Structure 1
Amino acid sequence: MNHGTPSPLHGKVALVAGATRGAGRGIAVELGAAGATVYVTGRTTRTRRSEYNRPETIEDTADLVTAAGGHGVAVPTDHLVPDQVRSLVERISSEQGRLDILVNDVWGGELLFEWDVPLWEHNLDNGLRMLRLGVDTHAITSHYALPLLLRRPGGLVVEVTDGTAEYNGSRYRNSFFYDLVKTAVLRMAFALSREIGSRGATAVAVTPGWLRSELMLDAYGVTEENWRDALAQEPHFCISETPRYVGRAIAALAADPDVARWNGASLSSGQLAQVYGFTDLDGSQPDAWRYLVEVQDAGKPADPTGYR
């Protein structure tokens, strides 16, 4: 509730590509809470499921955006199909005449990568599909959306990935294909920053920490309400965060009149919480990437004290 103060993103238009669940849903809802009109895309609707075969839908996300105070618009889109992405952007242009925030969050690789399996043993079709879903979708979406975003100065492009440039630059991330996708997305943000920075817009990469997505909660057999029960299986899950936390990070960036200072940067939800002062839903400020380096990777016992 804003109690009469203007919503910081009132009048702004956002596209969250890949907003069916997880970080994309959290980002869309928080942009809505800040007053934005948010177009949410994905392949799972109330009448059709993707190969994930999960119940979350883009219509549900759009309803959550509207309930939060924004205006949610669900548009079924396969971001690997250029014609569908072109039509999506044409619709935003005709309905709104502007695009202020583009969030490239399409991923789709959870069912495809094989943990700690070397390249020559990894299923090749699944690995190449992961590259298509995690990299090509972002490039296709930016190709069509950026002319609309650049129509007005001050636009923001966010590439959502897993890991900061500093962290990923010195560590192997789970498998050849997973590592390649998540590092490529970081580089896309940097490359875009060079192409749109001089044209009045800003591009950044943003990573959540250990995300309590619907898939992650299901993997541990818990819900958001009793997520701490998962600590018996994985004590370091104590540093985890809700998808709304990275949503608040991106909403804060989008509302920052000086956001251009971040152009080309690799940022994390925990880092931005310290800068902008927002919290996760429970009032904490988890800083997962600092925790991973200083506690988990260092072999210390799980203890979030001083990290949330």
Structure 2
Amino acid sequence: MGKPLLDKVAVVTGGTRGAGRAIAVELGAAGATVFVGGRTTKENRSPIGRAETIDETAELVTAAGGRGIAIRCDFTVPSDVDAFRDRVESEVDGRLDVLVDDVWGGELDVEFVPFWEADLDRQLGMWRNSMEAHFVALHRLLPLVIRRPGGLVVEVTDGDADSPYSGMLAYDSVKAAIRRLGYALAKELEPHGGTAVAVTPGFLRSEQMLENFGVTEENWRDAVAKEPHYVMSETPHYLGRGVAALAADPDRARFAGQSLSSWSLMRTYGVTDLDGTKPDWGRWNTDVVSTGTAPTSVDASLYR
């Protein structure tokens, strides 16, 4: 495939792990210079307490064929984001072709109970760590994106436009709001020759999800006994490859304002997951999940 993003510059916020890390790596594999922002470094962990670091992500970007630059940043703190922006200014003369906004930070606040029974401070914290962080990052970094026509902004969320209720008011509202950001930003960027979209993975095999099911990437299928729909899970790199293909598409403006999924990007660009399969969570959700069909009665290989 070559290096279609050679000489391009990307920023990935929330690039410590999961989809953010994989998107950063796949942009690097396409040749981009990628600034990786997040709170956990080799020296300090975020309140989430996980071991993955932005330093590791930057190293993976470089190993994949790009140039990875890790910058510690709390995206809820404007002064942190100012410093992040200044590094982009100094390192690459302020060039920013692709901004991937993947800040989340709400893992500790998820409570799948009726909203009035949930801890209010935790629910407000979820909004702050996600939506407020997105707003701060966009406010400080969008001026770099619009300096040159053709910039791309990718808002990473959970669920596409047809997603059912997630089962938690605060979580659902955050993810829906981020989808709406992709639509609204498309309107604001259009006069500057830019494109904005929202993207979502399917049933993700992130580091945290693997741990939740007590499996690793090597034996992830063992989790199907506990959660049969996990047979359709995908690695974060599946979405990452789709985003990289979108960033390299000179005609990507046709998707402006849309909510794109890993499976719709697969259908458009033919990307595969790391194992060479093409998980189609959208079709599985329509045919199996929504109809109440027993997953074990369906040949999952027909959906991969």
Normalising by the smaller structure, the TM-score range is over 0.9
Equivalent of 2:273 in 254, 272, 280? 280
Number of equivalences = 300
Match of 1:194 in 2: 187
What's the secondary structure of 1:111's corresponding residue?
helix
| Residue 212 of structure 1 pairs with residue 209 of structure 2 | no
Equivalent of 1:295 in 281, 284, 288? 288
1:32-51 residue pairs with structure 2 within 5 A? 32-51=28-47
Long gaps (5+) in structure 1: none
| Residue 306 of structure 1 pairs with residue 299 of structure 2 | no
Equivalent of 2:166 in 170, 173, 186? 173
1:14-163 residue pairs with structure 2 within 5 A? 14-97=10-93, 98-115=95-112, 117-163=113-159
- Match of 1:88, as an amino acid? F
Equivalent of 1:254 in 247, 253, 260? 247
Long gaps (5+) in structure 2: none
1: CA distance, partners of 2:196 / 2:142: 11
Give the aligned CA root-mean-square deviation in angstroms: 1.0
Question: Shift of residue 290 of structure 1?
Answer: 2.5
The CA deviation string for residues 223-256 of structure 1, in whole angstroms up to 9 with x for no partner, is 0011001011111001100011110010001000
1: CA distance, partners of 2:186 / 2:302: 33
2: CA distance, partners of 1:17 / 1:283: 27
The CA deviation string for residues 116-158 of structure 1, in whole angstroms up to 9 with x for no partner, is x111101101100001111111111011111111101110000
1: CA distance, partners of 2:214 / 2:290: 25
- Match of 2:137, as an amino acid? T
2: CA distance, partners of 1:125 / 1:292: 33
- Match of 1:192, as an amino acid? L
Question: Shift of residue 189 of structure 1?
Answer: 0.8
1: CA distance, partners of 2:86 / 2:159: 32
| 8 Å contact kept, 1:18–1:24 | yes
- Match of 2:65, as an amino acid? G
Equivalent of 2:222 in 219, 229, 233? 229
Where has structure 1 moved over 3 Å in runs of 4 or more? Answer: none
Identical amino acids, percent of aligned pairs? 57
| 8 Å contact kept, 1:93–1:99 | no
1: CA distance, partners of 2:211 / 2:301: 26
| 8 Å contact kept, 1:163–1:289 | no
What's the secondary structure of 1:16's corresponding residue?
strand
Question: Shift of residue 293 of structure 1?
Answer: 2.7
1: CA distance, partners of 2:170 / 2:265: 28
Using the size of structure 1 for normalisation, the TM-score is 0.96
Match of 1:203 in 2: 196
